[in-house]
Amino acid sequence: MSDLRLAQNHAFDLARTLMVPVTLFEVDGEIGVMPSAEYDGDADAIINEYDPFAYGSAH
């Protein structure tokens, strides 16, 4: 499994666990994830945003 695919899976799981939208981004070849409300970086660095409410309850 690629690093990006692994990061995407974990970001989705994190969003559903915390029940907050999270943003997956890449800066200087490194991938990061954080709550979307706290992300104030470059919009071009965003790979995807995961909104747990768009997919229903985590439980």
pLDDT for residue 17 is more than 60: yes
- What pLDDT does residue 25 have? 97
pLDDT for residue 1 is more than 90: no
Residues near 7 by beta carbon (within 8 Å), at least 6 away in sequence: 24, 31, 33
Mean pLDDT across the stretch 27-48? Answer: 96
Distance CA 39, CA 30 (A): 15
Question: What percent of the chain stands above pLDDT 70?
Answer: 90
- What pLDDT does residue 13 have? 95
- What pLDDT does residue 55 have? 65
Question: Sorting pLDDT into bands at 50, 70 and 90, what band is 2?
Answer: confident
SS (H, E, C) the chain: CCHHHHHHHHHHHHHHHHCCCEEEEEECCEEEEEEHHHCCCCHHHEEEEECHHHCCCCC
